[in-house]
Structures are given as structure tokens and as C-alpha cells.
Structure 1
Amino acid sequence: MTAVLLDAPQVRRVRRPPRLLTQNTELREENIWNWTIPALATRLWDGRVVKTCPAAGVCAQACYARNGTYNFPGVVQRHQQNLAYVLDNPAGWQRQMAAELAHPRHRGGWIRIHDAGDFFSDRYLSMWLRLIAFRPAVNFYAYTKEVSRFRRLVEPAPPRNFRWVFSYGGNEDHLIRPGDRVADVFPDEAAILSAGYHSQDASDLLAVLGPAPVGIPANNIPQFKRRMGGRSFRQWQAERDARRRGR
């Protein structure tokens, strides 16, 4: 059955990660597994520079996945290894991911696609859509700023076991429509309630299963909070877009 997933031969030799799905501290508490790649952009060991969040806007200036443990050399290396595997051996990556998703622990459970990074190309998103369809007993969800890519590739025929939320703070905020499920990052819980949003702080799954619109409290990282200046990502991005239009 794995032949269904194959779409390209291996083009480079790449070291195969021992395990693709992992659990960070927060998601482990809810038994959610996740897949991750570098945030925003990275330079691989062979010199290639890859933008992993091509639609990123102001979020790049306050990204939790570019701070703290994400900058540890071992973590950076592992995330780059994941990305190189996708790029250089997509068939092998799909086979390994499909095999891991077949484990009984994932049946009826949830996989968060991207603890860091985003659906950086049509090909990459299409590979995920095939995997999601191939494992209907597993539930998948993601935050994304790739609004136009999802309009073209996901919304016409979304898999029943895939949920997503458009997160504000990207260069495609203007493409978000009324009725879309959205998430915004706020300075704190009080700002979330004041804006009429619903906090997902109690559970990451509330982003896709709870009431909407979804509010995310900013991580307590002083330099990032200073940059936000009391604004939400949506407000911050709107201000930047307005300045650009005024030039």
C-alpha cells in the first residue's frame, strides 16, 4: 500500500532520522504527537537556504520557535535533519511517516503538524494530504499562515481527519475571510477576553476543537513582548501592511 504515497525518487543521500514524530513538554501532557522542521528559514549543512515559513510576517519578530531550547545545537540539527529528509528523500520520508502513524498509539489520537515551520511548498503540503488520507484512523491538525496555498490545495476537498486554523501575523492576513477559523496571539489572557476571543491556553486542541475565534496568550519572553507593544499579531500585521500601502 505504501506505493500510494510515492511521488519522487531519492535524489540525494540523506541521513534518516530514527523517529519522525516526537512530543514536546506541553503536547506530551495531552498525548499529542508532533512533527517539526526549522522555523522561518534555515541554512542546511550543504549551503542551501530554505524558507520554511514563506508567508511569515510580524510573527517572525516574536516567534517562540526561534528562542530558548529551539536554539540548542542538538535541536537545530534535528530540525534541519527532518527538513533535509523531506527535501532529499520524499519517498523515504513518506514511507517512514506512514509506518510510524500506523502504530496503535496513534489510532484515534492527534498529530500536530509543525511545532515549528509551515507548509512551505505545494509539493510538501500535497505529501501531507496524501499521508492524512492514507491514515484515516489518525487525527491531524495544524496552525498555518499559508492561506492561499490552503485555498487551492485543501479547501476544495479537505480530508475528514484534518483540521486547521489560520493564524494571524502573516503576509496573507488580508486573504482571511469571515467564517474562516482563525487564531491570534495576544499579550495576555485579559486581552484575549477583551477582544471577544476564546483562549486555547488550557489545551492546544482548543485551537481546532473549541469555540472560535481562538486567542493564544504570548509566551513570556520579554524581548518579544516588547516588540508586540501591547498589540495582537493581527493588529501588529495590519499596522505594518498599512505603512507599506502608504509608501
Structure 2
Amino acid sequence: MTKLRYRNALRALLTPAELRVFARLDTPQKIQTFLDRLPANYELDGDTVLSPRRMLQTRVAHCAEGALFAAAVLSFHGKRAWLMDIQALPRDQDHIVALFRERGLWGAISKTNHAILRWRDPIYRSPRELAMSYAHEYCLPGGKKSMLTFSRPFSLARFAPKRWVIASDDLHWLMDALDASPHVPVAPAQAMRKRRRSSRVELLAQLVLEWPDPRKRKARRKAKPKTKGKKPRRP
């Protein structure tokens, strides 16, 4: 399906309210700002992979849901869009961004609740160059670098927009397909073993949350006052 036909098929699925939202987000920068203003999806009722329609209804998003929404809006405007899956050590969480191109250079739209792993300006000459910009800051709370692999650009154009843009069911099948797609190691095993741990000041940045966990707020209200407390960990 050509970009024009895909765009038209996607537009035909949207409600008037959805059309207005998609239409005004006509640049990657505007899409990122929109996602930044959405609270983080803490999946309080269990794992979710909300379609763009359901994300707009619930008004929350995690990284995968934000990337899917960004890809849908880019496609709405007739632009090519891809997902990139960044895989980490089992003790850490993976991350997903939406890729786009401007003037032949690659950028990324990223929904995250942290001060790291965020938006990337379209200044990178290749997907690998962009992916590697995340490698240094991707680490566990103790400082161990945790990024392992990243996927090749994963196009959603292979799936009819009806399957993922307006789906009422969670899109776990799509995440499985992305997870099973070709991935590239960050570096050879010997180089990975020699990575230096993040310094203390770098780890402090990981404690910054844009949207606090509502479960912790409730717990603090119920708990008795304490003079000391443990530092919060990245969710």
C-alpha cells in the first residue's frame, strides 16, 4: 500500500474528535509536546498496550503506547514512521521509540517518565547512530549499563491501520512481532563487559520522575511519618 493510500485508509477510521487532534499535531515536535503532557501509564490494572484510540480515551501512556500514537499521527500526515525497540538486561525495562526522518536525518519521539531516554532531534545519519545515543544513559539504579540491542526500523505499514490504530484490544501481538524482529547488538561482548558504571551524579538524574507513581502517594498518606526513607527506584 502506498503512503497516500495508507494515509487515506487511516484517516477514514478516525472520529471527528480524533481527526482534530491528529490534524493539529503536524510536526514531530508537536507530537512530542503532546505526549510530554500526558501522565505516565503505570498500568494499575495490569499490563496494557493501548491503541492510539484507547490512549486518547484514557489520557495516559507508557513508551510503547506513545510510540504507537506518534507513528499513527506521522502516518496520518503522509510521513513514514517506524518503531525502534531497545532491549536491556532482564533486570531492566526495554524502551520503544518512534523514528522519523527529516532532510535525510533520523530523529525519535519518546514517551518516558524519566529525565533520560527522551526525544532525539533529527540530526543522526543512521538508525544505529541514533540508537547509540541512548547507550550511555541506559543503566540500572546501581549504575550498571544495561542496553543490549536495538531493533532495525520496524515499519507499521505492513499492518492495516484498522488492526492497530483503533483496536479495542491490547496490542500485545504487535509488541511480540516487534520483539521478534531483527535486533542489532550495541557492541561486541568483550566491549560490553568493559563498560564503566554510571557515576553518582548521573544516577541522580534517574531519580527524577515527571509523573509520580499514584500508588506511592497513597502509601505515603497511610504511612506514619519517618525521619529517613529509602531513595526511590526507577519504576
TM-score by length of 1: 0.30
TM-score by length of 2: 0.31
